[in-house]
Amino acid sequence: MKPHVSAVILAFAIFLFGCAGASLPATPGPGSVPLDAPISTDAPSDMPGGAPPLGQPKLMVPKPGQLNVHDVAIEQLSARVAGRHVVLNARWWSGVEPCSVLDSVAVSRAAQTITVAVREGTGPGEVACIDIAMLKVTAIDLGDLEPGDYTVVASQGSAPGIAVTVS
């Protein structure tokens, strides 16, 4: 066998064994975070990897001034009423920052119907965006409302409207 052919075969064998070893699943050590756990830097520190528990949304706070702002599809609405004060939670699926950043929320009212919108945009600069979906939630403070029955609906998305009674 010629020397350069032997070198090519040897290089291929090293490459093949290297790839085979890289495909072996890593076993997390005791107390470590599973490889598929979401990672977040601003969640409570007592959670593994700083991530919310599986199935729990990440709390988002508006950061005004984003680029390409648009309404996103709200998947779920819920409300908390304390006396006359009403706070909504809006949940939606979206991408990770800085590619999908909560810019603001919009609230409009027509008689007893309150329409809410969650508005996202992109952060400044050019960044490569990865396609990872995450469940997000934000609080929408409606303040004190007059006593009565209200219907809250999402401007976009599949969230069913909710009934809110203020006494």
Parts of the chain with a pLDDT under 70: 1-54
How far is 15 from 6, CA to CA, in rounded Å? Answer: 14
Q: What is the predicted pLDDT for the residue at 1?
A: 53
| Residue 71 belongs to a domain | yes
| Residue 96 belongs to a domain | yes
Q: What is the predicted pLDDT for the residue at 165?
A: 97
| Residue 121 belongs to a domain | yes
Q: What is the predicted pLDDT for the residue at 163?
A: 97
How far is 50 from 132, CA to CA, in rounded Å? Answer: 17
Q: What is the predicted pLDDT for the residue at 5?
A: 45
| Residue 143 belongs to a domain | yes
Select from 123, 86, 117, 90 the least CA-distant residue to 104. 117
| Residue 90 belongs to a domain | yes
pTM: 0.67
| Residue 38 belongs to a domain | no
Q: How many domains does the structure of the chain reveal?
A: 1
Domain of residue 117, residue span: 53-166
Give burial (CB, 10 Å; 0-12/13-18/19+) of 107.
Answer: middle
| Residue 123 belongs to a domain | yes
| Residue 1 belongs to a domain | no
Task: Name residues whose C-beta falls within 8 Å of residue 9's C-beta, 6 or more positions apart in sequence.
Answer: none
